[in-house]
Amino acid sequence: MKALLILILILSPVAAEQITASQFQQHCLKTANEAEASDRFVIMGKDGWYYLAKELRHLGIGQFWGENAVKVSRATKPKYADPLPAILDFNKSLQELGIHLIVVPVPPKVSIYPEGTGQSTEGRLDSMNATFLTLLKDKGVDVIDLAPVFLAKKSETGAPLYCKTDSHWSGEGCSIAAAHISEKLIQQDWLSKMHRRLYKKTVKKVTITGDLVTDLKGAPKETLQLGFITNDKDAPVEPRDGSPVILLGDSHTLVFHSGQDMHATGAGLPDLLAAKLGIEVALIGVRGSGATPARINLYRKVRSNPDYLKGKKALIWCFSAREFTESPGGWRVVPVVKK
């Protein structure tokens, strides 16, 4: 994600006592609106936590599909406001090609770590996301809802599941996501029949300057534990276009994998999935929105190489859940292959 030119709004508690999920969502929306009205894009919370204002907006904006979509979406064209038709069409198109779609939205950081806002609240805070993901499941889309998984793991591990100073998950959060995604695929007949490799995992500490604080004077640094995956030549595992598994999405598919401003090489979601599955994955990751641009890149890939989808069995679509409302490009229906 490109570093933002930011100002910081310090969150102040609205009440000392514990508040309800609904009150917390309202507070998030109010805080986001106040920040954006002052051209502020990053919110500084307590104990070193930083949040994207648009992530707080998404959490508090309410229902974002159906007739209500055009009222709340940041899509510049109203016809692309509703994510539901685009996701259902994508699932149908892949099914017709014999490819299993797995949708993996990354929960808003503030919904897992609300304490950074100075509020006291419990339980699931992204109720609209939960309802929407249930709707997708009811309509035949395979979805991994990471929010309850993360909330449960949060109480088990001392390591944060998100970076405090960055807009992405931490190495721990990424590893948990990789484990749950791989569970969907590990028992599949096609995978059990493949030659699978053993990869080595080495845990190292890495100090980063997160993308939410890059432009701050004296920007705070953050130390993470990452699991680096290497092959039998001690080299990083490179994505492979010929893999039966495609990993598609936003920068959550690139962080800790592609180096430079993504903080590390060889320790991201593509690498951890390769270690879990025993095979490399094909990667189509974008640094912008994982909603429409990522699917356009897939379409272009198929147009330039008609054999690209040959042998493909699964497509993992991983993107930030805030994209349901915050993507200016919205949710276009994009074909997988030329019709």
Q: Structure tokens of 142?
A: 């395979």
Mean pLDDT of 85-99: 98
pTM: 0.94
pLDDT of residue 294 exceeding 80, the answer is yes
Can you tell me the mean pLDDT for 130-134? 98
Nearest to 82 by CA among 135, 37, 41: 135
Q: Mean of the per-residue pLDDT values for the chain? A: 93
**Bridge partners (DSSP) listed for residue 288:** none
pLDDT for 4-54, tens place per residue? 444 444 444 444 458 899 999 999 999 999 999 999 999 999 999 999 999
Confidence grade of residue 118 (pLDDT, cut at 50, 70, 90):
confident
Q: What is the pLDDT of residue 2?
A: 39
pLDDT of residue 338: 87
Q: Write down the residue that tokens 């699978």 correspond to.
A: 196
| The length of the chain, given as a count of residues | 339
Residue 104, pLDDT above cutoff 70: yes
Model confidence pLDDT, tens digit, residues 143-164: 999 999 999 999 887 789 999 9
CB 182 within 8 A of CB 276: yes
Lowest mean pLDDT among 95-104, 156-165, 260-269: 156-165
Query: Mutual orientation of helices 21-37 and 53-60 as an angle, nearest 10°?
Result: 140
* Longest CA pairwise span in the chain (Å): 60
Confidence grade of residue 1 (pLDDT, cut at 50, 70, 90): very low
Comparing CA positions, the residue from 304, 325, 295 lying closest to residue 91 is 295
